[in-house]
Structure 1
Amino acid sequence: MNRTRRTGGSSGRFRTDRSSQRSAGSARGSRFRAQETGRQNPRPATGRKNGTGARSTARPQEFALPVTLTEPLPAVETFAELALPPRLLAALGAEGVTVPFPIQAATLPNALAGRDVLGRGRTGSGKTLAFGLAVLARLDGQRAQPRQPLALVLVPTRELAQQVTDALAPYARALRLRLATVVGGMGIGRQASALRAGAEVVVATPGRLKDLIERGDCRLDQVAVTVLDEADQMADMGFMPQVTALLDQVGAGGQRLLFSATLDRNIDLLVRRYLHDPVVHSVDPSAGAVSTMEHHLLHVHDADKHTAATEIAARDGRVIMFLDTKHAVDRLAKHLLSVGVRASALHGGKSQPQRNKTLARFKDGHVTVLVATNVAARGIHIDNLDLVVNVDPPGDHKDYLHRGGRTARAGESGTVVTLVLPHQRRAMDRLMADAGITASTARIRPGEAELQRITGARAPSGVPVTLPEPAAEQSERTGSARRGPGGRTGGRGRSGRANTTRTRRSTPRNSQ
């Protein structure tokens, strides 16, 4: 049984006694097959098809994890079975969250017991509450000193940081815990003020947190619970030096929770260096292996691609369209507005306030087409989004999986369509093989019934529409702000605040 004890100091910080977790003969480097919670003798998917499209196969080649024989606690069927504070349970009920998703049911008992957890679950599987509820429950009754947070959640992108904050805000409020969001793209002074005032939980991108530490506005030596969310993207985006430098500043003996859509060799270093005897849970297939997601490769001639994309954008319902560059994004968004499609552009050239406003308009339906670069490939959760279009094919299979992960979330159905020019066919076939996906292939032309059947495409109205440009906010100027990966220049999201307007949702609130 894991024990939690308080150490001295006015902050009331807790540490975890791990001695009961480790057996005397276990070694950090011992290897065995990672436990697949709820799966016996797991087998690859067979690439089943329905009448309209091909479905995914399982992803190959995940590394052998250096974990010891730490037995996981049994999964639960309801949140009421967990040792959660009564106010937290009441908040879950008020938010309509009653039945845990598989990754929540599997990981929460172990995380609440203070164990290190390595959890794999596809995007949209409920990872945010899987770690978030554990963090908040373990901090219940604690109070952070100025500049000394008690829990840290590291994420790769600004959008994901804001999504995590918004998802946890109502539960943090219920326990009177303070959240601070530390990201680039907005004023650093407001973030520094939030940290100086004291925040129990900090949700941060690595670069901006590093800046604030160097300014003396934050220390990590009192952090008792550390979460790495979307760890595979942290590695893919080159954030490992920043992440490891931050983790080295966290006090020894703290709890570590690592969540990822895939457990491949890119996160091997993090697992080996920072997780101690982790309980491993792999309750979902990887990001591309979604049984409710259809994949289509639409072969199109160069001269027809622009018109085909326009007709798809004019469909009923929302769609995200991915392109390679911000200039191509701006051009397509401008064109769509000129022909009567309510489209808006999202890319790294926009300020963070502009990006936040654009996403808000897309979520509330004022914008029906989000034209984006890969900045929208992760950290964006949109209810009832059933179509993602790769106008430009992605650069690699991971980009494909995470672009497609914006749809078919929380058990909903969805379709991923890629427009493929003749010279791109061979490369796209290799990419899909790397992703472990067998897609349906069709040759299409604008105006054809097949394009309409797959995507709902139709001719646009041709009546231009005008959308007000999201106002840019003046960022505070600071000589210490650094630039580089992870969101280097900018400030705070809505720290601890959430939209209190209640709307009917078809996607469960614990899907984030």
Structure 2
Amino acid sequence: MPPEVLWTAPEAGMPSFTELGLPRPVVRALDAEGFAEPFPIQAATLPETLRGRDLLGRGQTGSGKTLAFGLALLSRLGGGRAQPRRPRGLVLVPTRELAQQVVDALTPFARALNLTIAAVVGGVSFNRQVAVLQRGVDLLVATPGRLTDHTTQRTCDLSGIEITAIDEADRMADMGFLPQVRAILDLTPADGQRLLFSATLDGDVAALVDRYLHDPVTRAVAPAAAPVATMDHHVLLVDGAVKPRVVTEVAARDGRTILFVRTKYGVDRLVRNLRREGVAAAALHGGKAQNARNRAIAEFRDGRSPVLVATDVAARGIHVDDVSLVVHVDPPADPKDYLHRAGRTARGGESGTVVTLVTPAERRDVEQLTRQAGVRPTLTEVSPGDAALTRITGARAPQGLPVPEPERPQQNPRGGGRRGGGRNRTDAGGGRRRRTAEGGRRGRSAAA
């Protein structure tokens, strides 16, 4: 592993996107999308990646790494044209949601360079993906399992890959995907450029780096254990008998909120209870069909369901602006899970609060876990209706009127889903808004 270089902004100030070396069409698209200046992870990595260097990038979640690697890939691919079934660039990600959000974030810049971009993930039609690949894709964003299906069926040929980015590499390792990742990289040209972004760069990730990256430069924008300055951490000590009521009052707050629960069953049960109490909540976990997962994210993003209840499947795959509160309803299993869950708030320089609900029996374990995570939470004992609970979380009594289940779109006779088939649109008013470095319009859209 090469030595890690902690990047700091130059005294003269942050360089512009033009000064970083991005093509003019990309700079114009950035301006049109409302990006005023690069975030540190972008300024730290783009000069190296645009020159063709292999790179290890590490930045806190929400730091803007999607555009850091995405703009590099697209800029390097500009001017070429993909052949049928032979993509030219590849982004590997651990989850379906993250794949789609990377595509959404990068589409305006791909369009500016007349490049095509598409996602290949599980849970959706294989044959439709075959048709897309057959038309030719310049930049392919994929999960390892579904891409392996395509390479095995010979519907996708990776021999033309010029540049590969691996996002959330440590999450890939945690999910057991590294054997598939290695097999995929073995199908790409050995002399291709490779970028790897990860929250941690040790263990199995280090082995991946040593095998597949050539003389890489390493860039980080904060020490590995550095806390996010705009994120407040709290541990709320609560009696187990009243914990469900505390959860309900917190969920009834005003603001976009994510509640993390340990199991799929627990997610579905909590959503039912919240909706019965008048809290519009959506469920997200790996046991749901992909269209249901997409619908939950869309409802959360556009405000129809301001509360998202999720298992850890969402801890790295959901990037939605203006999530002001993350609640560990069930304490996370380890420090990594704590940080990944917490990273859903305080993104792109915004502020946010992270709360862990702890019963007396869980207190000692959670104290050890937060120390290992490098955070110092404030401990407060709370009960339903407490002023302290309201001060920390904005909790309030729910309205008590059950929330009906939302109407589902009718399927057309050919099974095409929602009539019109278009993507969910945001910011319909057409006004130009300041966007975050992760690619989403504040308060509306999401990216990775």
Q: What aligned pairs does 1:117-266 form with structure 2 within 5 A after superposition?
A: 117-266=55-204
The CA deviation at 1:472 is 9.5
Could you list the runs of 4 or more consecutive aligned residues of structure 1 that deviate by over 3 angstroms after TM superposition? Answer: 285-288, 469-474, 494-507, 509-512
The CA deviation at 1:85 is 2.3
More helix by share: 2
- Would the aligned equivalents of 2:14 and 2:37 in 1 still touch at CA under 8 Å? no
1:87 and 2:25 aligned: yes
The runs of 5 or more residues in structure 1 that have no matched partner are 1-30, 41-73, 478-493
> Cα deviations across residues 16-73 of structure 1 (Å, max 9, x unaligned)?
xxxxxxxxxxxxxxx7642211289xxxxxxxxxxxxxxxxxxxxxxxxxxxxxxxxx
CA 1:314–1:499: 2 relative to 1, 3 Å: closer
1:36 and 2:6 aligned: yes
SS in 2 for 1:399: helix
Percent of matched pairs sharing the same residue:
56
Quote the Cα distance in structure 2 between the aligned partners of 1:36 and 1:495. 42
Quote the Cα distance in structure 1 between the aligned partners of 2:432 and 2:262. 35
The CA deviation at 1:254 is 0.4
Structure 2 match to 1:364: 302
Quote the Cα distance in structure 2 between the aligned partners of 1:372 and 1:499. 23
Question: Structure 2 counterpart of 1:306, which letter?
Answer: P
CA 1:75–1:144: 2 relative to 1, 3 Å: farther
CA 1:266–1:294: 2 relative to 1, 3 Å: farther
The CA deviation at 1:339 is 1.1
SS in 2 for 1:381: coil
Q: What aligned pairs does 1:302-451 form with structure 2 within 5 A after superposition?
A: 302-451=240-389
SS in 2 for 1:81: coil
Quote the Cα distance in structure 1 between the aligned partners of 2:277 and 2:257. 16
CA 1:191–1:497: 2 relative to 1, 3 Å: farther
> Cα deviations across residues 420-465 of structure 1 (Å, max 9, x unaligned)?
1111111111211211111111111111111111101111111111
The CA deviation at 1:266 is 3.3
Quote the Cα distance in structure 2 between the aligned partners of 1:281 and 1:397. 23
Quote the Cα distance in structure 2 between the aligned partners of 1:497 and 1:150. 28
SS in 2 for 1:180: strand
- Would the aligned equivalents of 2:6 and 2:222 in 1 still touch at CA under 8 Å? no
Structure 2 match to 1:482: none
Quote the Cα distance in structure 1 between the aligned partners of 2:56 and 2:311. 30
The CA deviation at 1:82 is 3.1
1:508 and 2:446 aligned: no
- Would the aligned equivalents of 2:169 and 2:205 in 1 still touch at CA under 8 Å? yes
SS in 1 for 2:235: strand
The CA deviation at 1:185 is 1.1
Quote the Cα distance in structure 2 between the aligned partners of 1:471 and 1:451. 38
SS in 2 for 1:371: strand
Higher RCO by CA contacts (8 Å cutoff, separation 6 or greater): 1
After alignment, is 298-307 or 277-286 more displaced? Answer: 277-286
Structure 1 match to 2:234: 296
- Would the aligned equivalents of 2:261 and 2:310 in 1 still touch at CA under 8 Å? yes
CA 1:418–1:399: 2 relative to 1, 3 Å: same
The CA deviation at 1:349 is 1.5
The CA deviation at 1:286 is 4.0
CA 1:97–1:144: 2 relative to 1, 3 Å: same
For the aligned residues, what is the CA RMSD? 2.4
Quote the Cα distance in structure 2 between the aligned partners of 1:430 and 1:277. 38
- Would the aligned equivalents of 1:87 and 1:174 in 2 still touch at CA under 8 Å? yes
Quote the Cα distance in structure 2 between the aligned partners of 1:503 and 1:263. 40
- Would the aligned equivalents of 2:2 and 2:218 in 1 still touch at CA under 8 Å? no
The CA deviation at 1:417 is 0.3
Quote the Cα distance in structure 2 between the aligned partners of 1:367 and 1:287. 33
Aligned length: 432
> Cα deviations across residues 120-157 of structure 1 (Å, max 9, x unaligned)?
01111000110111111111110011010000000001
SS in 2 for 1:221: helix
